[in-house]
Structure 1
Amino acid sequence: MERSPARPAVVFDIGGVLTTSEGGVPELSRMIGVEPERFAVPYWDHRPPYDEGSAPGEYWALVAADLGLEWSAEEIERIDLFDARRWSEPAPGRVELLTTLHDAGVTTALLSNAPSSMARVVKESAWSARFDRRIFSCDLGLIKPDPKIYRAVEEALDRPGPELVFFDDRPPNVRAALELGWQAHLFTTQEACQDVLFALGLGQQAGA
């Protein structure tokens, strides 16, 4: 007997999808007295190893050095916690969206390129408790768009790619998921996301 198609599970990125796209960069740049454009360069250049699991002190020391600054351990701890919390605050309407899916019995997961400090804050938050699985790059030593991190999600949810609906704000991450057969979508607005979910019989249509 052929296996009937399962109800899709929904996988969300965090930054730029569930939270705002800029995270704490503008506020952090003001905190340390550096122009946002100048601060953003080392912030993003050194981010991949940090998302893979390197220590906060190592990451922020590299950022500071590129800016010609030097921060104490206490300053780094303060900056890192602020950064983690800003990336972890849901944008307006997102908690309601997650609640709708949760109440409808839809399986959901997080898949985020995130350092250990951000992962910890998210895991401690009430809103993330709605997810069936929370998968962070720092815990695996892998970052999107590495195919291995998508395979880890499939294994965690015990589902093949075609049964996974994925929302991410970065085209390379979406393309990688599509290549593995996922139903992947570039996140633009919550309304567009809800329309996709509604069309699949999941969630609620925008404006309904």
Structure 2
Amino acid sequence: MGQMEAERIDQIPVGQRVTLRRRLPDGAAGDVVGTVVAHDPEGVTLHTMRRGEVRVAYAEVVVHRVVRPVPWRIGAFLRRAGVAVLDLDGVLRTFDTSGELARVESELGLDVGAVIELAFALPEAAAMVTGRSTHAHWMAAVRARLLADAHAEEAVERLIAVWREDRGTPMGATVALVDSLVAAGTPTFVFTNGTDRVPEELEHMGLGRLVPMLINTHDMGRAKPAPQAFALAHAEVERRVGRVVDRAQVHFTDDRPGNVEAAREFGWQGRVFTPPAPGQW
């Protein structure tokens, strides 16, 4: 490969994934696949999965090709929708990005995520997401359970305070996807097993524009994955768009496979949510 190809390689931006074939000292050829991390006057350095950073001299390059990222499947799936419906938690927002809740769990001698598992196993959780209780009552039940399990009161109070203050952090790629769907004219909804606090939490996160899209099981009396929850949500979609909507036109994503399977049984098209890989969005 001549100098012209070397100059073109030199123009590939840092962060771009490439595959190249280089001439080895024994005359054979070898392939290198990785992400460009640096250029120098004589060569390029790639970060590879197996060998870490590998420098390749331009003079060794036989041929190279830019690896275009695979489109984000969830993005493509929802852009084909007649009506797009997304879960909230784990899809549009995440929690404990500071790690503070995990640190308090550690102080309590619990594994990371153990308090969440305990909390959602309480009967107050099911009552809350179906409108028969509130977030405040749920937090009180979690506190009482932890104290009953003989955890230190000071640490329990700190955990509850941290939890109450964490309204969530937006997941930027998914929020941007929702904004693009709305801009394209696709009816878009956020369907969550939520609490009475969800509208306030969205406003607090700077996502107040999602509140008009909200379908909250707390207001419906049925929660995912119950079939009645999907029937009520579909009726609400039709009410808001002002027309009959064929179930197959609705594309739904959720991070819980059981909810996606229930949506498919109802007649919606469903796909388990996965976040985009770097460069996909």
Residue in structure 1 matched with residue 146 of structure 2 by the alignment? 67
Contact 1:111 1:134 in 2 (8 A): yes
Give the counterpart of 1:11 among 72, 85, 94: 85
Normalising by structure 1, we get a TM-score of 0.73
The structure where helix makes up a greater share of residues is: 1
CA gap 1:120/1:92 in 2 versus in 1, 3 angstroms: same
Q: Structure 2 matches for 1:49-128, cutoff 5 A?
A: 49-53=127-131, 54-68=133-147, 78-79=161-162, 81-83=164-166, 85-86=167-168, 89-122=169-202, 126-128=206-208
> Letter of the aligned partner of 1:28 in structure 2?
L
Q: Structure 2 matches for 1:1-208, cutoff 5 A?
A: 8-20=82-94, 23-24=95-96, 27-31=100-104, 33-34=107-108, 35=110, 36-46=112-122, 47-53=125-131, 54-68=133-147, 78-79=161-162, 81-83=164-166, 85-86=167-168, 89-122=169-202, 126-130=206-210, 133-158=213-238, 159-190=245-276, 207=280
Question: How big is the shift at 1:136?
Answer: 0.7
Partners of 1:165 and 1:19 lie apart in 2 by 19
Give the number of the structure with larger relative contact order, counting CA–CA contacts within 8 Å between residues 6 or more apart.
1
Contact 1:81 1:117 in 2 (8 A): no
Question: How big is the shift at 1:130?
Answer: 5.0
Question: How big is the shift at 1:94?
Answer: 2.3
> Letter of the aligned partner of 2:146 in structure 1?
L
> Letter of the aligned partner of 2:236 in structure 1?
A
Gaps of 5+ in 1: 1-5, 192-205
The total of aligned residue pairs comes to: 182
Contact 1:154 1:160 in 2 (8 A): no
State which drifts further: 45-54 or 160-169.
45-54
> Letter of the aligned partner of 2:121 in structure 1?
D
Question: How big is the shift at 1:109?
Answer: 0.2
Question: How big is the shift at 1:51?
Answer: 1.8
> Letter of the aligned partner of 2:174 in structure 1?
R
Question: How big is the shift at 1:42?
Answer: 2.0
Bigger Rg, which one: 2
Contact 1:133 1:157 in 2 (8 A): no
Question: How big is the shift at 1:8?
Answer: 0.9
The structure where strand makes up a greater share of residues is: 2
State the SS of the aligned residue for 1:190: coil
Residue in structure 2 matched with residue 197 of structure 1 by the alignment? none
Normalising by structure 2, we get a TM-score of 0.56
State which drifts further: 25-34 or 164-173.
25-34
State the SS of the aligned residue for 1:157: helix
